[in-house]
């Protein structure tokens, strides 16, 4: 089967793209509403793209009625947001936060998620998230129906049991994020494996990087 994306209606593009580009990690994005309470919404058009600067990207679609989602309204106003990674412990609460509530609903409280103040931005993070990333907006790219938000991570707060004692590598028995597959299907990273370069790969790479010797003529 072949699909000409230049002719395909957006909803078909969405279905095909999200069915095949997955699993997609889920950012449970917390922001501060204009009235001062916490807002939370899951976003799976999300990933990290750079460490210098540390950039994460969100894609936020307008609602069916053409209005912007509360998360985007809050991000535009405050220029700040927090990405909370999601594991099985908070998966059910994450789905509740995805309900299209009115702007004055505090989704973390509704979903039973305890929050704590962020350190560098004026928002709250979810206490039981494995990892919270406080972000400041680097830029927003606007399309007619979608905004793509580049956020610079300024602080990361990690649940202690998710990391080794040196704070370097995740503990894979504990940190098992969930990710979105297609439609309402999700996957949990509980079957991890290592894939090592074959023996001799380093020598092969080094040989190719060595400039050829001068002929001496």
59 binds ligand FMN (CB under 6 A): yes
| Residue in 38, 57, 60, 126 binding ligand FMN, rule: CB under 6 A | 60
- Is 180 among the residues that bind ligand FMN (CB under 6 A)? yes
Quick one: 120 or 185, whose CB is closer to ligand FMN?
Answer: 185
* Contact between 44 and ligand FMN per CB under 6 A: yes
- Kindly give the residue spans of alpha helices, DSSP state H, lying in the chain: 10-20, 70-78, 91-97, 107-110, 201-209
Cα(86)–Cα(26) distance, integer angstroms: 6
Q: Choose among 55, 22, 27, 24: nearest CA to 41.
A: 27
Identity of the residue, 163 or 187, whose beta carbon is nearer to ligand FMN in the bound complex: 187
Which region, judged by CB under 6 A, interacts with ligand FMN, from 9-17, 34-42, 161-169, 196-204?
A: 34-42
User: Any contact of residue 32 with ligand FMN (CB under 6 A)?
Assistant: no
Rounded distance between C-alpha atoms, residue 58 and residue 109, angstroms: 23
Stretch that binds ligand FMN, among 36-44, 109-117, 196-204, 208-216 (CB under 6 A): 36-44
Name the pairing type of β-strands 115-117 and 46-51. unpaired
Q: What is the largest distance, in Å, between two alpha-carbon atoms of the chain?
A: 80
> Rounded to whole angstroms, how far apart are CA atoms 120 and 13?
38
Question: Among 69, 84, 106, 135, which residue sits at the site for ligand FMN (rule: CB under 6 A)?
Answer: 69
Q: Which of residues 135-174 bind ligand FMN (CB under 6 A)?
A: none
- Residues in contact with ligand FMN, shown as a per-residue x/- string from 71 to 100 under the rule CB under 6 A: x-----------------------x--xxx
Site for ligand FMN in 7-26 (CB under 6 A): 26
* Cα distances (Å, whole numbers) of residue 144 to 12, 113, 195: 18, 33, 42
Nearest distance from C-beta of residue 186 to ligand FMN, angstroms: 7
Reading phi first (left if > 0) and then psi (alpha if -120 to 50, else beta), residue 79 is in: left
Contact positions toward ligand FMN, by CB under 6 A? 26, 39, 41-45, 59-61, 69-71, 95, 98-100, 180
């Amino acid at each position: 089967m072949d699909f000409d994306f230049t002719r395909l209606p957006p909803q078909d593009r969405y279905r095909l793209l999200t069915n095949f580009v997955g699993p997609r990690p889920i950012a449970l994005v917390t922001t501060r509403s204009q009235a001062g309470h916490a807002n939370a919404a899951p976003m799976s058009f999300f990933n990290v793209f750079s460490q210098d600067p540390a950039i994460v990207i969100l894609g936020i679609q307008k609602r069916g009625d053409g209005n912007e989602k509360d998360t985007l309204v809050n991000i535009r106003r405050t220029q700040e947001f927090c990405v909370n990674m999601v594991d099985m412990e908070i998966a059910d609460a994450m789905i509740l936060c995805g309900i299209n509530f009115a702007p004055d609903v505090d989704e973390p409280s509704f979903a039973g998620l305890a929050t704590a103040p962020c350190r560098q931005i004026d928002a709250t993070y979810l206490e039981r998230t494995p990892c919270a990333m406080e972000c400041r907006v680097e830029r927003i790219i606007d399309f007619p129906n979608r905004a793509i938000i580049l956020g610079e991570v300024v602080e990361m707060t990690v649940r202690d049991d998710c990391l080794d004692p040196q704070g370097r590598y995740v503990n894979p028995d504990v940190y098992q994020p969930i990710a979105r597959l297609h439609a309402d299907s999700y996957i949990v990273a509980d079957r991890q494996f290592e894939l090592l370069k074959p023996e001799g790969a380093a020598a092969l790479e080094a040989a190719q990087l060595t400039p050829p010797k001068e002929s001496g003529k």
